[in-house]
Structure 1
Amino acid sequence: MSSQVGVPLSTLLASFEWDEIVGTGDPLLKGISYDSRDVQPGHLFCALEGIHTDGHRYILDAVREGAVAILGRNVPEPPLNGVVYIRVKDTRKAMSRVSAAFYQYPSRSLKVIGVTGTDGKSSTVYYIHQLLEMRGKKSGLLSTVSLLTDGELKKNPLRQSTPEAPIIQEVLAEMRDAGKEFAVIEATSHGLSHRTSRLLDVEFDVGVLTNVTHEHLDFHGSWENYRSDKTNLFRVLSQHRSDAKGCPAFGVANRDDKSFPYIQEHCKVPLYSYSIREKGADLAASHIESDLQGNTFVLHEKETSAPCRIPLPGVFNVENVLAALLTVARIEEVPALSLIPLLKTLKGVRGRMTPIHRGQPFSVLVDYAHTPGAFEKLFPVVRKFSPGRLIAVFGSAGERDVEKRPMQGAIASRYADLIILTNEDPRLEDPLKILQDIARGCGGRTEGKDLFLIPDRGEAIRMAFQKALPQDTVVLLGKGHESSIILSTGPVPWDEIEKAESVLEELGYRQRQGK
């Protein structure tokens, strides 16, 4: 996060609340960092207090790398000469404020669409982006999977779905400077929480909610807090602010989700609904017929209806497309049904229901599903269209919501014939204990017969393929698009699709996709 020109520190001090300044001078800031390993000469270093470490411990390292100013809750004794220290009560909030000011408030020059929800965020972001582009709009996007600022769509190199405020503001600035009109942003509950303030200074115009199910209770403490943090996206919407951008301010939410009335209560701008159950929603789908290539359904808007086909499998993708259609239709002020011709060319997200074909006599699907809610949506679809047995390979993240682990096991046990539990991202937790937590929900299973605990993910995938018979379906869940597995020693490179292909090739299946 660097600026070649630089910004005088004095011009940024009015953007946030501070308690004390120690040191003299007005250094020219050329960037903002919160990791001492990323500091470059001229940077402001933000000393964040985290779960495993405290950024104040790395102030000396940051100064050695060229930091000229330090933002934090404490000033070291004795303070180093030639460095300006800014003491604040809330470092993350101050970091958000100063980052927005440093990049000249980029979201004020963009029409910003935020998408939140437990499941379906990345797909919905991508569908909204594609529809806007098909309508001739210049759109940038940031999701767990992808990033597009000024060039081609590329893989998001960050592990955080919603990165820290300096990165968010830099990404938005790149979109603004590239002439984008819209920014479609995945807004996670962590990012929307006031505890992190990652999205505090992003001026959203449109908020979209896919669903609220069980996830991240380790961070939020309760499901109610989790829902409330997601609702922050709708609390900040302002018609007055959006009018200045020439953009309508509104919300879009899933009427079928039990949190819809709560969102409705806290959203002070128009809130539009979509549904696959109620034709009374602003946009609804009925008569859904699914297969592994896509969905056919009837789309309803007010008193009109029309047949639809999307090349995206899973009923959950019908919901995601409804959210995207309704959002773009309201932005463009056109009937949603008029956008139906665009749906046939929608592309799915890599690592979401991605089939792997290497000439093997069984089916292989890679998907990011890693929550109970996602499992409830994915497993029935795959079970229905698997002519043989269903083999599931998955795990659960370490140092994250432990309550969901047996829930994942219970859902998989209802549908899968064979379950192989393996690493997702164990982090500093004992990998085997995580798998045992999941296994406790796998009622009626016998370890070594229809339940296996194989921490090494590569070996787990190999076992699944070796046990697969003709007509079976193997689902590899939880990693999807991700580029690493986080172990106790740190992240190691990982690509689920490439790994599946390489294991199939080692087993003798060498036919290339599409051949």
Structure 2
Amino acid sequence: MIDRHLSKLTTGLKSLEKRGNKDPEISSVVYDSREAEAGSLFFALPGVHVDGHRYIEKALDSGAGAVVHTEPLDLYRPGISYIRVPDTRAALSPVSAAFWDYPSRDMTVVGVTGTDGKSTTVSLIRQILGCIGISAGSISTVDFNIGERSGSNYLRQSTPEAPQVHGLLRAMINAGQTHGIVEATSHGLSSRNSRLADVEFDAAVLTNVTSEHLEFHGSLENYRADKANLFRMIAESKNRDAFGVVNGDDPHTDLFFEAAGEKPVFTYSLKYPDADLFASNLKSGPAGTKFTLFTPMGKMETRITLPGIYNVENVLAALCTVAELQDEYAIDLARYLPELKGVKGRMEPVSGDMSFSVMVDYAHSPGSFRKILPFLKSLAEGRLIVVFGSGGERDLEKRPEQGTLAAEYADLVFLADEDPRGENPMSILEDIAAGAPGMVRNESLFLIPDRRVALREAFKKARAGDLVAVLGKGHESSIIYAEGPVDWDETEACREALKELGYDV
């Protein structure tokens, strides 16, 4: 039986002030006042738009019995326990781990970080483990897999807050799963958020590092450093068998080797034959990719049903991870590669009776554009038409870079809402268009904020042999505006637009 009294959960927590002499038993750990109930412990988290301190009274009205806060309060209710700490986000992590009885200590946990390819790599690791009879759960941008249940990530956070992370890991254990694969974003790894600070990882995987989320991290150096926190956690792990896996082709691998300390780090590569896993002779098409796999125990010809050279990198990362986790030969595990499946919104074709092709993908960063646009261009028998946008209140620097890359590879570019949030939607599109000065407005470059209209117009322009690539939303279930989120399903929106134009899809 877990002791969930407030004093037990907050043992070791650095406090500035405590009020109230009660020691209530805690029923839940929450940071959203709307989720507070009788016996909840409410954390008042600071935010970009909302400060949780403003909602303390609402949480107490809903039955919360204790509050953790940073700012001094004007009102302290009798019978309520208050703990003031230097940083409520930092405090939320160890309390969440304690509330769920430290689930990461009772299972094998793999963290996957990087700019691109995280969700796919998480899925591939889980699938390969399943092929050898190991039940693994997963947490990713795309979905949560717990036991026999799989559902979309409804939280719109690639790495959820600490209470959800530990709760999901405990749910995996309760469902009989021995392994958990966690998408570890830079936000989740940053000490400013501390979402993963008290997860005890057994393996750390790096896909790549380009430039993203600089509005949060402040610089590329800080971004890399936060990614490397996953490998620092491996270095500090009490598990002597903990290890890291890195993309040997990434120019920043030295940072991650150094972060891992004395723990071993394995490499995979498409460039360097001396890597632990190496692939060459890649031949990629719409139906997948064939390649030669080189391992310490020999080589073999193999294939995957995931198109794109970057997916070979993701598969190598997953293969290397499972081989080290389970002490298996990678060449033996490779027989399962043709069985692996992609994830929703990643190079997902939209089938129909069109004379042109439609592909949906989540690519939304300059790094992912550099990988996917040349491949899409090679697939197009005719012209490449792209539809995309850029998130509001995020990474202003990447917008013109996206425009430059789109102009380099695409014949027609349609810019549309992606998640404008509180920004003016047309201003975001203008920022992207500034990177493509050579494109002609309303001839090769179209700025249409309404994404449904943009899709319809792109499809109307498409001719036989063309490929229309719809990028940026992928699996996501909403578009976020200043007024709040609007339901969205990219693939279904494409089907609806095509049906309106008379196609059978």
**How would you bin the TM-score normalised by the shorter chain?**
over 0.9
Q: Which residue of 1 aligns with 2:252?
A: 259
Equivalent position SS for 2:129 = helix
Residue 263 of structure 1: how far off its partner (Å): 1.0
Give the CA deviation at 1:12.
1.4
- Tell me, what secondary structure is at the counterpart of 1:236? helix
Q: Which amino acid aligns with 2:124?
A: Y
CA shift for structure 1 position 454 = 0.4
Q: How does 1:276-291 map to 2 (within 5 A)?
A: 276-291=270-285
- State the percentage of identical aligned residues: 51
1:214 to 177, 190, 211: 211
SS in 2 for 1:324: helix
Where do 5+ consecutive residues of structure 1 fail to align? Answer: none
Candidates 7, 12, 20, aligned match of 1:10: 7
2:117 paired with 1:123: no
1:107 maps to 104
Question: Does the Cα contact within 8 Å between 1:15 and 1:101 map onto a contact in 2?
Answer: no
Q: Deviations over 1:241-268 (max 9, x none)?
A: 225xxxx310000010011111112212
Alignment match of 2:491 (pick from 484, 490, 497): 497
C-alpha contact 1:6 1:30 (8 A) present in aligned 2: no
1:394 aligns with 2:388: yes
Residue 428, structure 1, aligned to residue 425, structure 2:
no
1:167 and 2:160 matched? no
Q: Offset at 1:15?
A: 4.1
- AA in 2 matched with 1:469: R
Structure 2 CA distance, aligned partners of 1:378 and 1:78?
A: 55
| Matched residue, 1:507 | 501
Q: Deviations over 1:488-515 (max 9, x none)?
A: 101111000111111111111124xxxx
Q: Which moved more, 1:370-379 or 1:36-45?
A: 36-45
Out of 440, 443, 448, the position equivalent to 2:442 is: 448
Question: Structure 2 regions of 5+ residues with no counterpart?
Answer: none
In structure 2, what is the Cα distance between the partners aligned to 1:334 and 1:41?
49
- 1:482 matched residue in structure 2: 476
Candidates 53, 59, 76, aligned match of 1:62: 59
AA aligned to 1:160 is Q
Matched, 1:331 2:328: no
Write the deviation string for residues 51-102 of structure 1: whole angstroms up to 9, x where unpaired.
1121101111111111111101124223112211110001111111111001
1:479 aligns to what SS in structure 2? coil
Report the secondary structure of 1:225's partner residue. helix
Q: What is the alpha-carbon distance in structure 2 between the residues aligned to residue 239 and residue 27 of structure 1?
A: 34
TM-score, normalization by structure 2: 0.98
Query: Which letter maps to 2:317?
Result: A
8 A Cα contact 2:247 2:267, kept in partner? yes
Query: Alignment partner of 2:104: what SS?
Result: helix
Amino acid at match of 1:93: A
- Give the corresponding residue for 2:24: 27
Distance 1:143 1:475 in 2: 23
Structure 1 residue 146: Cα displacement: 1.2
Per the alignment, in what secondary structure is the counterpart of residue 234 of structure 2? Answer: coil
2: CA distance between counterparts of 1:12 and 1:289?
54
Question: For each residue in 1:318-366, what CA deviation from the matched residue of structure 2 results, as whole angstroms up to 9, or x when unmatched?
Answer: 0000000000011121221111210111000110000001211110000
1:356 aligns with 2:338: no
- Residues 159-198 of structure 1: pairs in structure 2 closer than 5 A: 159-198=156-195
Alignment of 1:361-380 (within 5 A): 361-380=355-374
Distance apart, 1:6 and its partner CA: 7.8
SS in structure 2 opposite 1:461?
Answer: helix
Cα deviation 1:93-112 (Å, max 9, x = unaligned): 11111110011001000100
- Give, in angstroms, the shift of residue 240 of structure 1: 5.9
Please say if residues 15 and 98 of structure 1, whose CA atoms lie closer than 8 Å, have aligned partners that are also in contact: no
Q: Which amino acid aligns with 1:496?
A: E
Give CA deviations for 1:216-237 in whole Å, capped at 9, x if unaligned. Answer: 0000000000000000000011
Counterpart check, 1:71 vs 2:65? no
User: Cα gap change, 1:176/1:297 in structure 2, threshold over 3 Å: closer, same or farther?
Assistant: same
Q: Is the 8 A contact 2:235 2:260 kept in 1?
A: no
- In 2, Cα distance between equivalents of 1:233 and 1:164: 16
> How far, CA to CA, are the matches of 2:86 and 2:283 in structure 1?
55
Cα distance, 1:275 vs structure 2? 0.3
Q: CA deviation at 1:7?
A: 2.0
Measured after TM superposition, the shift of residue 303 of structure 1 is 6.3
RMSD: 1.3
What is the DSSP-based 3-state SS (H/G/I as helix, E as strand, rest coil) of the residue aligned with 2:238?
A: helix
What one-letter code is carried by the residue in structure 2 that aligns with 1:405?
R
User: Partner of 2:27: helix, strand, or coil?
Assistant: strand
Supply the distance in 1 between the matched residues of 2:12 and 2:452 (Cα, whole angstroms). Answer: 49
Alignment pair present for 1:249 and 2:246: no
Q: Secondary structure at the match of 1:153?
A: strand
State the match for 1:313 in structure 2: 307
Does 2:151 align with 1:154?
yes
Aligned equivalents of 2:335, 2:147: Cα separation in 1 = 27
Aligned residues: 504
Q: Distance in 2 between matches of 1:337 and 1:171?
A: 32
CA distance in 2, matches of 1:158, 1:60: 24
Q: Which amino acid aligns with 2:337?
A: L
